[in-house]
Amino acid sequence: MSSTAERLAELIKTSRSAVFFGGAGVSTESGIPDFRSEDGLFRAQSAYGRSPEELVSSAVFLREPELFFRYYKENLVAQGAKPNPAHLALAKMEAAGMLGAVITQNVDGLHQAAGSENVFELHGSNHRPYCVSCGQRYSLDYILNPENCRGALPVCRECGGTVRPDVVLYGEGLDDGTVRGAVAAISAAELLIVGGTSLSVYPAAGFLSYFSGPHLALINKTRGPLDDRAELALHEPIGEVLGQIARILGL
């Protein structure tokens, strides 16, 4: 049990307001690949001849929807994925009153599946698709079912419009309400825990500029641009670290 993990557990226990800000690395331990990783880039270029960012852009969605949905269904949806120890530990901390909010760049819904309630999904969610024409909401299963699709395109049973995932595509803006909530949580935090992200994706990475609290902790397998600024930096698997911290806290 490292002294750094023990120190972070103490900060979580004593801080009046703690917030977690996470990225793709939180979910890779649930078997969900990071589509921006080197492997993800290679797969996209090999199979589609495009970069991942282009394939999940608003331009491709509008102009080449068949291509968009083929890539989306094959690469951005991980059916059967379950919360890992990181998700579960964060949910326990929130339930114990030790964590005020989770801010995530992921769209997989695993924080909610683990039991977290105050979650700000900066890039939206796979789990609330909607019709672009009439606004009718659907489940993720609906758009994955070939019976509800014309080719690869999910079709609204009410009006026949296209049903798209409620995720923020490249070229689209973040949801205003989600942004306001995330900024308010970060601004009020005494302790900000950043995990599973390289802090290289904007505008999400820019949210850290709103943090002015005394304690910044980083959990990431590799070093990042904020390591020298952080009070604590742990370069270990995030599920292992947060699971260990939950045990220290008796959760």
Listing DSSP states for 167-214 in one string gives E--BTSPPPHHHHHHHHHHHHH-SEEEEES--S-STTGGGGGGG--SS
Q: Are 111 and 85 in contact (CB under 8 A)?
A: no
Helix (H) or strand (E) holding 13: helix 3-14
244 burial class (0-12, 13-18, 19+ CB within 10 angstroms)?
buried
Q: Which two tokens stand for residue 38?
A: 């080197």
List 87, 111, 123, 127, catalytic entry:
123
Q: Which of 80, 56, 83 is nearest to 67 (CA)?
A: 56
CA 24/CA 5 separation, integer angstroms: 21
- Is-catalytic flag, 235? no
CA 44/CA 130 separation, integer angstroms: 26
CA 2/CA 158 separation, integer angstroms: 56
Q: Are 69 and 152 in contact (CB under 8 A)?
A: yes
Handedness of CA 146, 150, 153, 154 (dihedral sign): negative
Residues classed as catalytic: 123
